[in-house]
C-alpha cells in the first residue's frame, strides 16, 4: 500500500512539473515571461497566466508595430528576441513619424494604429492607440472642422443606426469621419469592444477613429480651434 501511494504521488508530481504547450506551441513559462515583459513595456497583455489569448495577441501586435516587424500577433522567435532586448522600447511612448509635417497638429499612423497630439514646438501633448478603417480613411492632409453642412464637434453624437453613442466626436474629413471615443451601446452604456483592442487591427471602424476615453477627451480639448490632421 505504501509503495502504491509513493507511485501515485510521484506520478502527480511529475504531471505538475511537466511542461504543456499553448495554442502556438510555446511553453507556459515562456508565455508568462513574455506577458510580464509586455506589461512592463506598457503593451497591456492583461494577466500573465501563460495563455495566449486575444488580449496577449493584441499586446504582441502593439509591440510588433512599435519595433517595425510583421504584426502577426504571435510570440515567434524574432518577436521574443526583440522583446527581451535591454533596449526594447515601450509600446505606449512612440516618436512622431518622420515626414508628418511640423507645428501644432494631430498625426495618425495607420500602420501603427496610433495617434499623436503635437504642440506648436513639436512636443507630444498626448498619444495613444486607435482603431480605424483604411478602406474608408486614406493617407493625406486634413483639418478639424465642419464638413458637408455637419457640425465639426458634437459632444454626444450617435451612429447611423441610432444604437450607439459616439462621444466627443471631432470631425476632420468629409463627410462623416472624425475622432470619437469607443462607441457605447445606448441600451447598456457598455463599450462595443475593450480598450486593449486599440493600437491593433483586430477590429475595424466604419471609417472614424475610435479612441480611449482619456485620449478622446484630450482630442476634444486640443481641437477648440481648427487643427491640421496628418494621416500617414
| pLDDT digit string, tens, across residues 152-181 | 999 999 999 999 999 999 999 999 999 999
**Would you state the pLDDT for residue 15?**
35
59-102 pLDDT per residue, tens:
999 999 999 999 999 999 999 999 999 999 999 999 999 999 99
Domain with CATH 2.40.440.10 in the chain: 105-231
In CATH, the architecture of 105-231 is Beta Barrel (2.40)
Q: Do residues 34 and 83 touch, judged by C-beta distance below 8 A? A: yes
Query: What is the number of alpha carbons within 13 Å of residue 130 lying toward its C-beta?
Result: 34
Predicted model pTM: 0.86
Domain with CATH 1.10.101 in the chain: 2-83
Q: What pairs with residue 105 in β-bridges?
A: 118
With residue 117 as reference, give the H or E element that holds it: strand 114-118
**Would you state the pLDDT for residue 29?**
79
Tell me, which fold does domain 2-83 have in CATH? Muramoyl-pentapeptide Carboxypeptidase; domain 1 (1.10.101)
| Spatial separation of the C-alpha atoms in residues 36 and 43, rounded to whole Å | 10
Task: Region of 152 please: left (phi>0), alpha (psi -120 to 50) or beta.
Answer: alpha
**Would you state the pLDDT for residue 197?**
98
Kindly give, in sequence order, each residue whose CB lies less than 8 Å from that of residue 27, ignoring residues fewer than 6 positions away. 19, 20, 21
**Per the structure block, which three cell numbers stand in for 192?**
462595443
With a cut of 60, say whether residue 222 has pLDDT above it: yes
**Would you state the pLDDT for residue 16?**
34
| Percent of the chain's residues with pLDDT above 90 | 87
Please give the average per-residue pLDDT across 196-216, as a whole number. 97
| Spatial separation of the C-alpha atoms in residues 151 and 139, rounded to whole Å | 23
Amino acid at each position: 500500500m505504501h509503495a502504491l501511494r509513493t507511485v501515485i504521488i510521484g506520478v502527480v508530481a511529475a504531471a505538475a512539473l511537466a511542461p504543456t504547450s499553448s495554442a502556438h506551441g510555446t511553453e507556459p513559462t515562456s508565455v508568462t515571461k513574455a506577458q510580464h515583459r509586455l506589461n512592463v513595456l506598457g503593451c497591456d497583455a492583461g494577466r500573465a497566466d501563460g495563455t495566449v489569448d486575444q488580449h496577449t495577441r493584441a499586446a504582441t501586435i502593439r509591440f510588433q508595430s512599435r519595433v517595425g516587424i510583421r504584426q502577426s500577433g504571435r510570440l515567434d522567435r524574432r518577436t521574443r528576441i526583440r522583446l527581451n532586448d535591454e533596449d526594447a522600447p515601450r509600446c505606449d511612448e512612440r516618436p512622431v513619424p518622420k515626414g508628418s509635417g511640423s507645428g501644432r497638429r494631430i498625426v495618425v499612423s495607420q500602420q501603427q494604429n496610433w495617434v499623436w497630439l503635437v504642440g506648436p514646438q513639436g512636443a507630444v501633448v498626448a498619444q495613444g492607440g486607435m482603431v480605424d478603417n483604411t478602406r474608408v480613411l486614406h493617407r493625406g492632409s486634413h483639418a478639424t472642422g465642419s464638413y458637408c453642412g455637419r457640425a465639426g464637434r458634437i459632444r454626444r453624437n450617435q451612429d447611423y443606426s441610432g444604437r450607439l453613442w459616439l462621444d466627443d466626436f471631432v470631425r476632420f474629413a468629409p463627410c462623416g469621419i472624425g475622432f470619437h471615443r469607443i462607441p457605447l451601446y445606448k441600451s447598456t452604456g457598455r463599450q462595443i469592444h475593450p480598450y486593449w483592442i486599440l493600437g491593433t487591427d483586430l477590429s475595424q471602424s466604419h471609417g472614424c477613429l475610435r479612441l480611449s476615453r482619456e485620449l478622446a477627451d484630450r482630442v476634444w480639448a486640443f481641437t477648440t480651434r481648427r487643427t491640421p490632421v496628418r494621416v500617414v
